[in-house]
């Protein structure tokens, strides 16, 4: 019985590597497994080497592991690349016509007559992946009917029919020649879905009542645009691909000023272009949400790889000073939940909000229980529509909380005026020193109330003597490392910081002072969270595990470092 195993699909761009990984992930999820899949690809349209690494387990899992049991090789390069990386009893599945000379025992090689199967079914070469998927179903003892159903769901009818035929032939050939190596028992349980961080954010935005989305494509945030464009009619939203990032953010500011919830998504380069308009949203107290999916920089950097190098950037982006909300979800569920939450918070406090993720979390697939949206509460704060019944309306009226009543244009008895220049309560430009100070105080007074919000700003896992600290996508590898360390008798505590602005300074300070060994784990060069902690709490984190090669942490890297520093 296979309790946990690892599959990698490899091949050049354009041969369906990612789609193959996704279909396999969904197939094994429907067998009752937890799955986690992550991709690796260069920034070119065709060619180059692409891979999809899939982890499949009977237990809940949080990240990938750099282990391989089965290789689905779509070209010679993939066979050679992974031949010496497979574990004991692993198998490489590939076309028998590939000219490879491997110094491996024959039992490791599953050679499939791909050309024969394609010719028999008059199928195109791109359907090779379905033949190999059929083969792995046979080797693992999985239910071929589940795979065929998933294939049917993912392609239009005529293409699905061809893929199903060749998958069956791949399955039957493998079963007859190589036999069933393992057995898999299909288990029932709670219904799960397979989603990426990008898709979870899109679903959260729809659930929160977002009605307008505008973006310009930029990896790794582009899938949010694609996802919402596909579902705009189901979600009753307007989706626009803008001509550039400046247009995208100004569109959502206009939409939010008109009264609807609005969002954009980009990466670091696109956000660089948005920073002036970010200040416009802050000055006019217009609530918007920006998703920033990080990748390595500076400049073009590594467009298709991961990083956590933009934390300090988003905390201080745009000229001047103003309050903002920055949240960094660490897993798929948090991507959904915190998206809903930040829409409520930005509406309530009339400030811009930023959801900070990275390529690893944005594009990795993970099986999760169905999201629950029946308990979602929409809080629009001091929102006025229809008719205003107060005294003379001013968009920026001074209040104890700093939050002014927010009427939308066309509200009866309210002239809604605001200004990108510093202004008075009624939106008229002012250079009066007293009004300037009073208006800045008003905007920053909101922070005091933000800090009192009864929301989950950080999470604690475990109860050991060594404190591991992380944010964003490092959560998955850290949780996996915690489990491995625990099995080896090393108990740790993991502090996951979710809200980076406003920062929960007192709570984090009190937590940090309990531990002698504190390890900050980040995907950047400078340890930006450690620096933020020092700034906000006065506590120095002297042990830093930093990775900045564009790849996410392998849990084993964390395990080895903890062992090293703990003696």
What b/e string do you get for 511-538 counting C-beta neighbours within 10 Å, with b at 16 or more? Answer: bbeebebbbbbbbbeebbbbebbeebbe
Q: What percent of the chain has pLDDT over 70?
A: 99
Q: Which of 324, 352, 369 is the last residue of a domain?
A: 369
How are the residues of the chain apportioned to helix, strand and coil, as percentages rounded to the nearest 5? Answer: 40, 20, 40
pLDDT of residue 106: 66
Residue 528 lies in a domain: yes
Would you say 354 and 327 are in contact if contact means Cβ atoms under 8 Å apart? yes
List, for residues 339-388, the tens digit of each pLDDT value.
999 999 999 999 999 999 999 999 999 999 999 888 899 999 999 989 99
pLDDT of residue 392: 92
Give the tokens for residue 451.
């800090």
Q: Which of 369, 393, 422 is the last residue of a domain?
A: 369
Q: Are residues 260 and 126 in the same domain?
A: no
540 class by beta-carbon count within 10 Å (0-12 exposed, 13-18 middle, 19+ buried): exposed
Q: Are residues 271 and 173 in the same domain?
A: no
Q: Are residues 144 and 25 in the same domain?
A: yes
Residue 303 lies in a domain: yes
Would you say 42 and 88 are in contact if contact means Cβ atoms under 8 Å apart? no
The CATH number for 313's domain is 3.40.50.970
Helix axes 17-29, 144-154, angle to 10 degrees: 130
Residue 50 lies in a domain: yes
The CATH number for 159's domain is 3.40.920.10
Q: Are residues 131 and 225 in the same domain?
A: no
Can you tell me the mean pLDDT for 318-342?
Answer: 98
Q: Are residues 127 and 208 in the same domain?
A: no
Q: Which of 311, 342, 369 is the last residue of a domain?
A: 369
The CATH number for 555's domain is 3.40.50.920
Q: Are residues 170 and 199 in the same domain?
A: no
List, for residues 505-541, the tens digit of each pLDDT value.
999 999 999 999 999 999 999 999 999 999 999 999 9
Q: Residue 154: is its pLDDT beyond 80?
A: yes
pLDDT of residue 105: 64
User: CA-to-CA distance for 75 and 319, rounded, in angstroms?
Assistant: 51
List, for residues 281-316, the tens digit of each pLDDT value.
999 999 999 999 999 999 999 999 999 999 999 999
Range of the domain at 254: 194-369
Question: How many domains are contained in the chain?
Answer: 3
pLDDT of residue 104: 64
Residue 399 lies in a domain: no
Q: Which residues neighbour 195 within 8 Å (Cβ) at sequence distance 6 or greater?
A: 203, 332, 365, 366, 368
Q: Are residues 158 and 105 in the same domain?
A: yes
Cα-Cα end-to-end distance for the chain: 37
Q: Are residues 167 and 222 in the same domain?
A: no
List, for residues 253-284, the tens digit of each pLDDT value.
999 999 999 999 999 999 999 999 999 999 99
User: CA-to-CA distance for 333 and 335, rounded, in angstroms?
Assistant: 5
pLDDT of residue 22: 98
Can you tell me the mean pLDDT for 203-231?
Answer: 98
Question: What is the residue whose two structure tokens read 């083969």?
Answer: 135
Q: Are residues 201 and 116 in the same domain?
A: no
Residue 90 lies in a domain: yes
List, for residues 420-444, the tens digit of each pLDDT value.
999 999 999 999 999 999 999 999 9
Q: Are residues 212 and 142 in the same domain?
A: no
Residue 359 lies in a domain: yes
Q: Are residues 121 and 237 in the same domain?
A: no
Q: Residue 415: is its pLDDT beyond 90?
A: yes
pLDDT of residue 89: 87
Question: What is the residue whose two structure tokens read 């995907």?
Answer: 523
Would you say 123 and 101 are in contact if contact means Cβ atoms under 8 Å apart? no
Residue 439 lies in a domain: no
Residue 298 lies in a domain: yes
List, for residues 225-255, the tens digit of each pLDDT value.
999 999 999 999 999 999 999 999 999 999 9
Q: Which of 42-56, 440-454, 531-545 has the lowest mean pLDDT?
A: 42-56
Q: Residue 75: is its pLDDT beyond 90?
A: yes
Q: Are residues 114 and 152 in the same domain?
A: yes
């Amino acid at each position: 019985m296979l309790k946990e195993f690892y599959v990698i699909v490899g091949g050049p761009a354009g041969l369906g590597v990612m789609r193959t990984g996704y279909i396999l992930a969904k197939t094994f999820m429907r067998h009752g497994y937890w799955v986690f899949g992550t991709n690796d690809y260069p920034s070119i349209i065709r060619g180059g080497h692409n891979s999809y690494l899939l982890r499949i387990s009977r237990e809940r899992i949080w990240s990938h592991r750099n282990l391989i049991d089965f290789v689905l090789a779509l070209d010679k390069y993939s066979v050679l690349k992974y031949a010496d990386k497979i574990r004991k009893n692993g198998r490489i599945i590939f076309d028998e016509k590939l000219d490879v000379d491997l110094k491996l025992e024959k039992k490791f090689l599953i050679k499939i007559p791909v050309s024969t199967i394609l010719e028999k079914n008059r199928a195109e070469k791109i359907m090779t992946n379905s033949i190999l998927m059929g083969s792995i179903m046979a080797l693992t003892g999985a239910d071929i009917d589940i795979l065929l159903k998933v294939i049917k769901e993912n392609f239009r009818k005529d293409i699905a029919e061809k893929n199903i035929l060749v998958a069956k032939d791949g399955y039957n050939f493998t079963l007859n020649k190589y036999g069933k190596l393992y057995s898999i028992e299909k288990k029932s349980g709670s219904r799960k879905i397979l989603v990426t961080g990008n898709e979870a954010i899109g679903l959260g935005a729809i659930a929160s009542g977002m009605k307008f989305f505008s973006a310009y494509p930029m990896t790794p945030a582009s899938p949010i645009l694609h996802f919402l464009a596909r579902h705009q009619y189901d979600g009753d939203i307007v989706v626009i691909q803008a001509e550039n990032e400046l247009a995208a953010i100004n569109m959502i500011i206009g939409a939010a000023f008109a009264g609807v919830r609005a969002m954009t998504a980009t990466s670091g380069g696109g956000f660089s272009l948005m920073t002036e308009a970010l200040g416009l949203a802050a000055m006019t107290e217009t609530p918007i949400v920006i998703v920033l999916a990080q990748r390595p920089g500076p400049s073009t950097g590594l467009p298709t790889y991961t990083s956590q190098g933009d934390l300090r950037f988003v905390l201080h982006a745009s000229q001047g000073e103003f309050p903002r909300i920055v949240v960094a979800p660490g897993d798929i569920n948090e991507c959904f939940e915190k998206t809903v939450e930040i829409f409520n918070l930005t509406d309530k406090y009339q400030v811009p909000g930023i959801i900070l993720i990275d390529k690893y979390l944005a594009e990795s697939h993970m099986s999760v229980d169905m999201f629950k949206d029946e308990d979602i509460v929409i809080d629009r704060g001091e929102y006025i529509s229809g008719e205003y019944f107060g005294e003379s309306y001013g968009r920026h009226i001074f209040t104890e909380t700093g939050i002014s009543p927010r009427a939308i244009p066309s509200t009866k008895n309210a002239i809604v005026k605001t200004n990108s220049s510093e202004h008075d309560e009624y939106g008229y430009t002012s250079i009066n020193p007293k009004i300037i100070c009073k208006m800045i105080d008003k905007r920053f007074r909101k922070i005091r109330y933000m800090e009192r919000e009864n929301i989950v700003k950080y999470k604690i896992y475990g109860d050991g003597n060594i404190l591991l600290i992380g944010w964003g996508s490092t959560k998955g590898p850290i949780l996996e490392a915690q489990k491995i360390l625990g099995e080896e008798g090393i108990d740790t505590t993991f502090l996951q910081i979710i809200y980076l602005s406003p920062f929960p300074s007192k709570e984090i300070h009190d937590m940090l002072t309990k531990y002698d060994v504190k390890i900050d784990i980040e995907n950047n060069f400078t340890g930006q969270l450690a620096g933020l902690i020092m700034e906000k709490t006065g506590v120095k984190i002297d042990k830093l595990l930093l990775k900045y090669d564009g790849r996410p942490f392998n849990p084993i890297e964390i395990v080895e470092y903890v062992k090293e520093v703990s003696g």
